[in-house]
Amino acid sequence: MSESFSSILPDAQMLRAMVLSVIQNQQDYDALLSYLEPVARSGQLLNMEISMELALLLSDVERHAALNDQLYSLVKEETAPTLVLTEAGVILAQNQGAAELFHSMEGDNHVRLGISAADFDAFQKRIFAHRGPTLLQTTTAASATPLILTATYHAPHRVFLLQSLECRWPESVDKALQELFGLTPSERDILACLAQGMTAEEISEQRVRALGTVRQQIKSLMQKLNTNRQNQVVSLGAAIANRTAGQLPQHTQPGQISSYPLELGEFIRDHRLVGWRRYGDPQGFPVLLLHGPFFGAGEFERDRELAHQYGLNVYIPERPGYGRTQPASAGQDPLQNQVQDCMALMQQQGIERAYLLAHEAGLIPALALAVQHPDTFAGVLAVSPSGHFKPGVDLQGVPRQQRMLLWAARNAHWLLRMMIRLSMVQVRQLGPERWVDAIFADAPHELEVLYANSSRQGTLSTYSFNYSQNGAGLELDVQQTTTAWDELVRQVVIPFEGIMGGRNGTTPPDFVRTLQVLNPALQLHEIPDAGQTLSISHADTVFSLLAQRVQNYSEVP
């Protein structure tokens, strides 16, 4: 090894110290990128000692990652089953008690908790109209006995915090008791007395009511609360009082209630869980959306609204490593696995023909679908597509973190995994409100889009979707980006076009236009003022063009 190359390589012990300082929040992840960047620019491989050091550090990194998660901190100290839900009802975080009680996982929605869409909508309206905590009723798979959850709105992250009953009881909960169980004012008053440990005789004396009347009201309470034991009524009342008394978490009402729901489903294929999403007009023309690594899987309200407006029925298979979908087993081709997942979803839902909509790296599986099943898909619309990052391509214009990941995917497997795990630590330290800083710190025009008030709920929801599997999806995407996928571009015969942003620093227009050399039939539309966040900032343009193409296809005899 030459002396000049030795001076470029990082020292194994220094690298270990820097990694540990990042996961212990003593040093910024950006400093580690600066330390490693000369290695990436050199184009050289890491030696065995450094590769082994990186491999051994992975377990430390992954263990610390969960400890820094701001959403997880809302649930981890709770002894009762506790969950964090988005305003759309998707589970972002949960403690072990909740996971065991509901057999749920991050990425599931309220249906997994036994809460119907109508009940969840009513709950949202109640918590919106009456300031303070409220209640939800559900059942679990293990028991038909109703389970009561208290719910508060956590303003800093715009999420609902749900917990099985233990404590508290203001006016908003009193209203919930009326709506959920049909309790009359007298019955709610009796329940409050029982919660204080009073007997029927004491209630009769204090409230100046006939003892028989009090006993009849207790019996009515038992019937409405679906129990035949008075001590269960007493326990429930005490639990409500305890859960809803004293210091409440900071809460306000949600900014709005979504009129355009996001449906979640799942199925098993080859012993793997495959999650999927759906939004838009159920009677509309089917669209299969292949999402990218950072946003675009149905979390943004405007996308769902536009799909309804244009009569599009959008299905989103959660790609491996994102949301709930598990990666392929060892030895299976990752790209072919995605193709099979998509075709299985279409078969399950009875979709005979669809239009392909792809975001960023989702273009690669979309191309594979178009090439392998041209009779099944009417066309491909790619949003923020990328050219092929071949070896030797100049990466200087690419944001540094993404540039480092691309280099590591080609040259240092352990470094790629380490960097993704460390970026996840940084993301969790930043929290759901600021996680996008880790990706777009040097692209303020992208952050402006993501921090817009209309984007907040979508940005928050993608936080858990992207990182629920320790960055496995991003790792697969980066590796897939460096394969010879450009050969698929040559083979596409169905209508194929793309929309690109003139301010996209990761995949600028001139780089994307290299795809037209491979396939001259490809049509590209440039939006000069758009960036990588094109799918959010210009959602109207995307769905308008998609609707036009679907209509043109439908009108062909």
Closest alpha carbon to 236 in 365, 310, 137: 137
DSSP type of residue 276: E
| Least confident segment among 55-69, 142-156, 345-359, 405-419 | 55-69
Please state the domain extents for the chain. 74-243, 263-388+484-555
Mean pLDDT, the chain, rounded, equals 82
The pLDDT, as a whole number, for residue 26 is 62
pLDDT of res. 205: 67
Pairing of strands 82-85, 272-280: unpaired
Summarize pLDDT for 274-309 with one digit per residue, the tens: 999 999 999 999 999 999 988 879 999 999 999 999
Beta strands of 53-118 (E only): which ranges? 82-85, 91-94
Looking at residue 246, what is its pLDDT? 45
| Mean pLDDT value of segment 265-274 | 90
Mean pLDDT of 123-144: 76
The CATH number given to 263-388+484-555 is: 3.40.50.1820
- Residue-level pLDDT at 346: 98
CB crowding 129-141: b at 16 or more within 10 Å, else e: ebebbbbbbbebe
Q: What DSSP string runs through 410-468?
A: HH-HHHHHHHHHHHHHHHHHH-TTTTTHHHHTT-HHHHHHHTSGGGHHHHHHHHHHHHT
Write the DSSP symbol of residue 284: S
Q: How far apart are CA 512 and CA 499, in angstroms?
A: 10
Residue 449 pLDDT level (bands cut at 50, 70, 90): very high
Integer Cα distance of 370 and 352 in angstroms: 14
Q: Are strands 285-290 and 312-317 parallel, antiparallel or unpaired?
A: parallel
**DSSP string of 210-272?**
-HHHHHHHHHHHHHHTT-S-HHHHHHHHHHHHHHTSSSPPP----S---SS--EEEEEEETTE
**Residue-wise pLDDT tens digits, 499-523:** 999 999 888 999 999 999 999 999 9
The rounded percent of the chain whose pLDDT value lies above 90 is 34
CATH 3.30.450.20 applies to domain 74-243: yes
Alpha-carbon Rg of the chain, whole angstroms?
Answer: 27
Instruction: Please choose, from the candidates 469, 150, 152, the residue with its C-alpha nearest in 3D space to the C-alpha of residue 322.
Output: 469
270 vs 548, higher pLDDT: 548
What element of type H or E holds 509?
helix 509-512
Q: Is 74-243's fold the same as 263-388+484-555's?
A: no
**Residue 440 scores a pLDDT above 90:** no
DSSP 319: P
How many whole angstroms separate alpha carbon 476 and alpha carbon 326? 12
Interacting residues of 171 by C-beta distance below 8 A, sequence separation 6+: 130, 132
Is the pLDDT score of 4 beyond 50?
Answer: no
Judged against a pLDDT cut of 50, whether residue 100 lies above it is answered with yes
Q: Which two tokens stand for residue 164?
A: 């099985």
Q: Under a CB-based contact definition with an 8 Å cutoff, are residues 106 and 117 in contact?
A: no
pLDDT tens digits, one per residue of 226-244: 776 676 666 667 666 655 5
pLDDT-based confidence at residue 460 (cuts at 50, 70, 90): confident
Q: CB–CB of 449/537 below 8 Å?
A: yes
Q: Whole-structure pTM over 0.75, yes or no?
A: no
Residue 333 has pLDDT above 80, yes or no: yes
Task: Give residue for tokens 């040097």.
Answer: 442
Half-sphere exposure in the Cβ direction for 522 (13 Å, CA): 25
Q: Indicate if the alpha-carbon torsion angle 451, 365, 323, 398 is positive or negative.
A: negative
Phi, psi of 426 (to 5 degrees): -65, -45
Which tens digit of pLDDT belongs to each residue from 154-210? 877 778 999 876 434 556 777 777 888 888 878 877 777 776 666 788 777 656 678
pLDDT at 138 over 90: no
- Provide mean pLDDT across the span 79-106: 86
Which residues fall within 8 angstroms of residue 540, CB to CB, at 6 or more apart? 302, 306
Vertex 322: Cα angle to 93 and 325 (nearest 5): 95
The pair of structure tokens assigned to 186 is 């007298």
The single-letter DSSP state of residue 520 is T
Confidence (pLDDT) at 57: 67
